[in-house]
Amino acid sequence: MSRPMPLPWDDAEQDHLLFLRDREKLRFNAIGPRLGRSPEACEVRYYTKLFAVNAANHYGKARSGGRPVGGGKPRPKVNRPAQPVEMKIPLPAEHGGYRAVDLDGLRERAELMLRIAERGLTGGVFGDPPPGRSALDERTRSATAAVQRLAGRGGSDVR
């Protein structure tokens, strides 16, 4: 059993479909019965055949052949003279031009990468002292030295 051939769309049906969808803002399930077609057929026709043409007419863009949709006249083309474009070129920096600014940025990045390699990520980014130079390290070192001095004098029972 074969499917029945769909009826071809004529210009009046297409115009009515566009009017109901674009002007009346109806859904396809309301448009289908008015046109005597299924809502799916109306939706497929609208989005595959008519939507691009209608958008081109609405926004005044040229399209390839055919009549204007909705019975309107195509807009005449207006030739406008080209507007000159003014380009603004920034002035070079006073301390050596463009390259000096780039080199300063590169130098700062290289210094940051060196600090990160030397002190670790948080130490390099936040400026913590190098390993073994913090106040906590100094306190631990002095406490260890004090314990060793006491142990060396023999004043401690800890072994």
What is each CA distance from 100 to 25, 88, 109, in whole angstroms? Answer: 61, 21, 14
- Asked if residue 152 has pLDDT above 70, the reply is yes
CB 17 within 8 A of CB 49: no
- Asked if residue 16 has pLDDT above 70, the reply is yes
Rounded Cα distance between 141 and 145, Å, is 6
So what's the pLDDT on residue 54? 67
> What percentage of residues in the chain have a pLDDT greater than 70?
65
- Asked if residue 97 has pLDDT above 60, the reply is no
The rounded mean pLDDT for the chain is 75
Q: Which of 46-60, 81-95, 118-132 has the highest mean pLDDT?
A: 118-132
Rounded Cα distance between 131 and 143, Å, is 18
Nearest to 41 by CA among 10, 73, 74, 7: 7
DSSP state of 24: S
So what's the pLDDT on residue 93? 58
Rounded Cα distance between 148 and 93, Å, is 60
So what's the pLDDT on residue 40? 92
Residue 33 in tokens: 């019965």
So what's the pLDDT on residue 64? 47
Residue 159 in tokens: 């072994």
- Asked if residue 39 has pLDDT above 60, the reply is yes
43: number of CA atoms within 13 Å, CB side? 8
Nearest to 73 by CA among 86, 64, 60: 60
pTM over 0.75: no
So what's the pLDDT on residue 28? 93
- Asked if residue 58 has pLDDT above 70, the reply is no
CB 89 within 8 A of CB 38: no
